[in-house]
């Protein structure tokens, strides 16, 4: 999963080829900027917007952190290696780079799998998915994802320490060079989570269709028929969103990992280095796609992103203005405070800041919006 294994395939070639390769890597900078901006907006939106602070969206927050590592560390290193047509740093930085590469990409992929698994279990047995249990379950799954990713990436670190040739086959090349890890890493980082994701998503889709055909509702003890019908509709919409996310994930990563495991099984397969570069960066681009999907199909995320871009988070970072809301018979009255409110008041959420107009009526209860 290293960009250098593609970049350095043509090192030592004629000068025109190197210049052409450098020019083809320049557009990758746009993906880096898009990935950083998009995933930072996702993190800020979930942390600052109350309507996005459901427990399931914290899993999306962890996914955005994994994608940020890809965008802030992995892709820039790959871009530099591509532009220079060689690895410019020492072996320690190479080990750091390939470890972060495997860690972040594996975490991003396993997040998708756990999201799909959690949704299926929640819809199949909703009585076990009460809020107090769901919070614990989400935290447990997030921790498991990162521990699993750390375990897989640590294999690369150990391989580089034991034998430098496993990550640097030549002094100016930084690339994983171990056929055993090609096979093992591809299975653990892509094919196994993809199988889990496809199976659970298919089962979730079949379960929702069965509920719709039979006219069944989500049978909670304290949920009425109309509310259950609304919940079922929300689940169907969320499934469509996740379907787009999963489809983009498979389209982006399947070519690279198929080629990767093929190289591990057989040494006789030759693929043009430029094709390998396209497959690799197509996988990296998956880290920039998720924020685009959220804004395209989820109104709450789209509104939160627009508010963040409009306000620049100045009111959250500097605390210039606080508002206290009091209720009366006619509606809400707001009283600006010159200093931060006491513990009886909460800091205003993204939907309550001055850049939003008009203000929401205080008597309305807001639901937590979630796409998973």
- Collapsed DSSP state (helix, strand, coil) of residue 333: strand
- Collapsed DSSP state (helix, strand, coil) of residue 266: coil
Query: Do the Cβ atoms of 74 and 100 come closer than 8 Å?
Result: yes
What are the residues facing 326 on neighbouring strands?
333
List of residues 6+ apart from 176 with CB closer than 8 A: 1, 2, 5, 98, 102, 156, 159, 166, 167, 182, 185
User: What's CA 45's distance to the chain center, in Å?
Assistant: 14
pTM for the structure as a whole: 0.72
Q: How far apart are CA 108 and CA 119, in angstroms?
A: 17
Quote the pLDDT of residue 71. Answer: 92
Strands 322-327 and 332-337 turn out to be: antiparallel
Please report, for the chain, the start and end positions of each structural domain, with discontinuous segments joined by +. Answer: 4-309
Query: Do the Cβ atoms of 67 and 121 come closer than 8 Å?
Result: no
pLDDT tens, the chain, 372 aa long? 544 444 444 444 444 444 445 667 888 889 999 999 999 999 998 888 887 877 778 888 999 999 999 999 999 999 988 888 888 888 999 999 999 999 998 998 899 888 888 878 877 776 565 555 577 778 888 999 999 999 999 999 999 999 998 998 888 888 888 889 999 999 999 999 999 988 988 888 888 777 766 654 444 444 445 555 555 565 666 667 677 878 888 889 999 999 889 888 887 777 787 888 888 889 998 888 888 887 777 788 888 888 888 876 555 444 434 433 333 333 444 444 444 444 444 444 444 444 444 444 444 333 444 444
| Cβ atoms < 10 Å from Cβ of 215 | 8
Q: Which tokens in the block code for residue 24? A: 């083809």
Q: How far apart are CA 54 and CA 103, in angstroms?
A: 26
Quote the pLDDT of residue 100. Answer: 94
Topology at the third CATH level for domain 4-309: Rhopdopsin 7-helix transmembrane proteins (1.20.1070)
Q: How far apart are CA 358 and CA 152, in angstroms?
A: 50
- Collapsed DSSP state (helix, strand, coil) of residue 324: strand
Q: Which tokens in the block code for residue 103? A: 């860690």
Query: Do the Cβ atoms of 168 and 87 come closer than 8 Å?
Result: yes
Nearest residue to 235 (alpha-carbon basis) of 215, 218, 253, 216: 218
Query: Do the Cβ atoms of 242 and 201 come closer than 8 Å?
Result: yes
């Amino acid at each position: 999963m290293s960009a250098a294994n593609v970049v350095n395939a043509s090192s030592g070639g004629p000068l025109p080829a190197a210049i052409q390769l450098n020019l083809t890597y320049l557009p990758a900078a746009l993906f880096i900027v898009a990935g950083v901006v998009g995933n930072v907006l996702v993190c800020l939106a979930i942390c600052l917007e109350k309507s996005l602070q459901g427990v399931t969206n914290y899993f999306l927050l962890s996914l955005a952190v994994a994608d940020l590592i890809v965008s802030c560390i992995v892709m820039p290193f790959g871009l530099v290696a591509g532009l220079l047509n060689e690895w410019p740093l020492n072996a320690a930085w190479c080990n750091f780079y390939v470890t972060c590469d495997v860690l972040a990409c594996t975490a991003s992929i396993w997040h998708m799998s756990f999201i799909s698994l959690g949704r299926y279990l929640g819809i199949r047995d909703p009585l076990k998915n009460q809020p107090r249990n769901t919070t614990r379950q989400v935290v447990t799954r997030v921790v498991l994802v990162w521990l699993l990713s750390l375990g897989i990436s640590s294999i690369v670190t150990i391989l580089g320490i034991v034998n430098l040739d496993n990550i640097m086959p030549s002094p100016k090349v930084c690339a994983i060079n171990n056929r055993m890890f090609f096979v093992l890493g591809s299975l653990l980082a892509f094919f196994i989570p993809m199988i889990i994701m496809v199976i659970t998503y298919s089962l979730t889709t079949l379960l929702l269709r069965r509920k719709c055909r039979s006219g069944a509702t989500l049978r909670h003890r304290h949920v009425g028929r109309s509310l259950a019908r609304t919940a079922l509709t929300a689940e169907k919409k969320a499934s469509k969103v996740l379907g787009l996310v999963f489809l983009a994930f498979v389209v982006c990563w399947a070519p690279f990992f198929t080629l990767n495991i093929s190289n591990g099984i057989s040494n006789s397969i030759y693929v043009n280095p430029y094709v390998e570069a396209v497959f690799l960066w197509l996988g990296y681009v998956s880290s920039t796609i998720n924020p685009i999907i959220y804004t395209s199909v989820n109104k709450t995320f789209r509104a939160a992103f627009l508010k963040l871009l409009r306000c620049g988070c100045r009111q959250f970072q500097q605390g210039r203005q606080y508002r206290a809301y009091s209720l009366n018979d006619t509606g809400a009255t707001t009283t600006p405070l010159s200093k931060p409110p006491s513990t009886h008041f909460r800091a205003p959420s993204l939907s309550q800041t001055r850049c939003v107009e008009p203000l929401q009526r205080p008597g309305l209860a807001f639901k937590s919006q979630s796409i998973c």
